[in-house]
Amino acid sequence: MEHVLAADDKNRLEKWFSEIGVSGIFSGDDVRRMLQGNIADSGSMVYVIWKMLKERFPEKVDATAFLHDLCFEFGKLHTKNFPVVQTPSNFLKKLLSKADIIAWDMKITTFNDEKAVLALHAFPYCMGAERSGASEDEKRYLKKEVLLGIADGLVANNPNLKVLGDIEGIDQNGVFTITFLLKDKPQSTKNDTSIGVEAFLGSMGFNEAYSEKEVILMLRDKVGDRGLLVYLCWKMMQKQFPWMDSITFLYDACYSFGKGQTIKFSKEGTPDVWLRQISSRAGLLVWQQTITSFNNQKAVKNFKYCPHIEAARNAGAASSELRTLCRDILMGADYGTMDPYPYLELSFPGKTCAEGGECDMTCVYRE
């Protein structure tokens, strides 16, 4: 689809793009911030769902148990197609990506054929939860439930391994340690890195700067994780809580998530101001976005790719589910970002990415 931007809109857009540096080379710090920011969005989404379940259904739903189960299924899905490896170090080689190590500030402290130990020094999930209003106690609790749930899920498909999470480390020094062990040697005291952790990490190619292509590859899955979590949550709610209107609940959760992004928005907004505030360097790249109108009367952003929908599709979502997930659930986040501006109107004319088209997000003044 060919898009021609009006001359004045083009000038405004080029000035903005020059300020945020949309393309080119990305520093290591840029990449870390983008990765952590998008993982934080998943943390914010998980926190909002947990909080709303406790508030709306305090007698009917054990929100904390559900949260652990959700994170377990999320972790399990990520290793669904892994071969059954025989040692913890080989499992870690298959599991870890460059993006994970950068975003979570991971250090591998033990790496051998009996034990592998990961130390996480950053917690992007809690960054997002804090943005959505989580207290210190809630953030500490989320670290435990979310990380332990994911860790348990990661090894669920492997009969040779077990996992332990050092809960106490979170409170003592802010570090969460995950230990992968052989099931038949659960008390292993072998703490060396004889398998060659330096060679493993060196093969990943950590650099001081990264190309646009490298950044997109690192970001795509991390952006898609929020949509995947919402999809898994929807499927679990349908099964566990058939009495619940799970679509409406999750739309409301997504709306609350989107509204939470507006804390630092300007009090007065025109369509182009709103579009700037919801757009990011990472989003423009990963979603393959093109801005086709950019002025104080109308703003339009075209999407050629949706990482949320692709993540759900890869998890087995049917075409009808993708359409519902997109329009009836996830779009709640977009409408939530409009909350400060009741005089503006958002629409998605034509087909969305979930429906096989290119999505045009359109913002104008209400008539």
Regarding whether 273 and 169 lie in a shared domain, the answer is no
Say what the pLDDT of residue 74 is.
97
Regarding whether 196 and 95 lie in a shared domain, the answer is yes
Q: Would residue 33 count as lying in a domain? A: yes
Say what the pLDDT of residue 280 is.
87
Q: How many domains are there within the chain? A: 2
Q: Would residue 123 count as lying in a domain? A: yes
Say what the pLDDT of residue 307 is.
95
Regarding whether 158 and 270 lie in a shared domain, the answer is no
Among residues 193, 210, 227, which one ends one of the domains? 210
Q: Mapped to the 3 state alphabet, what secondary structure does the chain carry?
A: CCCCCCHHHHHHHHHHHHHHCCCCCEEHHHHHHHHHHHHHHHHHHHHHHHHHHHHHCCCCCCHHHHHHHHHHHHHHHHCCCCCCCCCHHHHHHHHCCHHHHHHCCEEEEEECCCEEEEEECCCHHHHHHHHCCCCHHHHHHHHHHHHHHHHHHHCCCCCCEEEEEEHHHHHHHCCEEEEEEECCCCCCCCCCCCCCHHHHHHCCCCCCEECHHHHHHHHHHHHHHHHHHHHHHHHHHHHHCCCCCHHHHHHHHHHHHHHHCCCCCCCCCCHHHHHHHHCCHHHHHHCCEEEEEECCCEEEEEECCCHHHHHHHHCCCCHHHHHHHHHHHHHHHHHHCCCCCCCEEEECCCCCHHHCCCEEEEEEECC
Report yes or no on whether pTM surpasses 0.75.
yes
Within 10 angstroms of residue 21's Cβ, the number of other Cβ atoms is 12
85: containing domain: 27-210
Regarding whether 107 and 12 lie in a shared domain, the answer is no
Token digits for 195? 């398998």
Regarding whether 67 and 15 lie in a shared domain, the answer is no
Say what the pLDDT of residue 310 is.
95
Regarding whether 148 and 49 lie in a shared domain, the answer is yes
**Residue keyed to tokens 């709610």:** 237
Q: Rounded to whole angstroms, what are the CA distances from 198 to 37, 96, 99, 275?
A: 28, 14, 17, 44
Q: Would residue 91 count as lying in a domain? A: yes
Say what the pLDDT of residue 204 is.
87
Say what the pLDDT of residue 57 is.
97
Q: Would residue 219 count as lying in a domain? A: no
Regarding whether 17 and 80 lie in a shared domain, the answer is no
Residues of the chain with pLDDT under 70: 1-4, 21-23, 167-173, 186-195
Q: Would residue 223 count as lying in a domain? A: no
Q: Would residue 1 count as lying in a domain? A: no
- The dihedrals phi and psi of 191, each to the nearest 5 degrees, come to -115, 15
Among residues 210, 227, 252, which one ends one of the domains? 210
Say what the pLDDT of residue 5 is.
75
Regarding whether 75 and 64 lie in a shared domain, the answer is yes
Q: Would residue 168 count as lying in a domain? A: yes
CA 125 to chain centroid, in Å, comes to: 9
Regarding whether 274 and 345 lie in a shared domain, the answer is yes
Give 191's contacts (C-beta < 8 A, 6+ positions apart). 109, 110, 115, 117
Q: Would residue 342 count as lying in a domain? A: yes
The enclosing domain of 110 has a CATH number of 3.30.1380.20
Say what the pLDDT of residue 173 is.
65
Among residues 179, 194, 210, which one ends one of the domains? 210
Say what the pLDDT of residue 177 is.
87
Say what the pLDDT of residue 170 is.
62
Regarding whether 283 and 202 lie in a shared domain, the answer is no
Regarding whether 304 and 166 lie in a shared domain, the answer is no
Regarding whether 142 and 76 lie in a shared domain, the answer is yes
pLDDT tens digits, one per residue of 58-79: 999 999 999 999 999 999 999 9
